Amino acid sequence: MTQRARDATERATLRTSASESGVIIEVRDVGKSFPLEGKEVKVLSGIDLDVTAGEFVALIGPSGCGKTTLLNLVAGLVQPTTGQIRYEGHEVRGINTHVGYVTQKDTLLPWRTVEGNIAVALDVQRVPAAEKRQRVQAFVKKVGLSGFERHLPHQISGGMRSRVAIARTLIYNPTTIIMDEPFAALDALLRLRLQTELLDIWSEFKTTILYVTHDLSEAIALADRVLVFTQRPARIKLDQRVELPRPRDISKVHTTHEFGELYDLLWRALREEVWIEG
């Protein structure tokens, strides 16, 4: 059996296991506090959330309200102060190796080439050289970086670096990807292109995605659901399904009547949390 076939079988097994209940991520009454100058600062309070396998869920809310903290909890980078997080039926007690993380900063290794950065996880797993080369080449092509394999991070654009980071995450076959404003630093046209490419990749791999953004239009255009968070200590104020049909044309979806209605609904909920009256 080829590695691609083994990967497909493993992915199918994991998704079948999760889909028995339909839920891959369970967040139950989760709160999180951090010490600051001798006091406890509560960031999250009473968060309850179910995410089904293959869902694309966007998180939006005021800056500093705890959205990234929730991502870190799902990834097992920190532990909840109260409550519980379960992944594929098991409590998350340490690093969640089924989750891939794409941050706003690409965190590429500056001394490694494009293909070297994409191969990091395979090096850790000690994948044989021939198999590693084949898998890296496949992902280089998939994210449109053919011809740039030997370039270092400082020799490619910000958009290319973002694609390297996504490929580096996908190559080790996570069942969930969590993304923290991955395109926020890019210009509008490049962001539009990468949003389209992300949807194409998500459609192919059927990976569950948790996606933090401060752009309400981006959240609606990409996601199956949008979660609106309150000010800190954050709770989920609104859990809104996005019923816009797929596949979506990112360049045109904003012009539809349905998009406008959703935007108004979500903005009314969000405005109360971010708007400071003069």
200: left (phi over 0), alpha (psi -120 to 50) or beta: alpha
Looking at residue 18, what is its pLDDT? 47
Residue 193, pLDDT above cutoff 50? yes
- Domain assignments of the chain as residue spans, ordered by start: 3-98+174-274
User: Rounded mean pLDDT of 103-122?
Assistant: 89
Write the DSSP string, 1-27.
Answer: --HHHHHHHHHHHHHHHHHTTSEEEEE
Eight-class DSSP state of 224: S
Q: Give the contacts of 236 (CB within 8 A, at least 6 positions apart).
A: 47, 48, 49, 227, 228, 229, 230
Percent above pLDDT 90 for the chain:
60
pLDDT bracket for residue 276 (50, 70, 90)? low
pLDDT bracket for residue 21 (50, 70, 90)? low
Cα–Cα distances in angstroms (integers) from residue 270 to residues 61, 66, 152, in the given order: 7, 15, 40
Distance CA 191, CA 252 (A): 14
Residues 26-64: tens digit of each pLDDT: 999 999 999 888 788 999 999 999 999 999 999 999 988
Distance CA 276, CA 146 (A): 47
Query: Would you tell me how many other CB atoms lie within 10 Å of the CB of residue 265?
Result: 15
CB 85 within 8 A of CB 74: yes
Looking at residue 15, what is its pLDDT? 46
Q: Give the contacts of 183 (CB within 8 A, at least 6 positions apart).
A: 162, 190, 191, 194, 195, 218
Residue 221, pLDDT above cutoff 90? yes
CA end-to-end span of the chain:
65
CATH class of domain segment(s) 3-98+174-274 = alpha beta
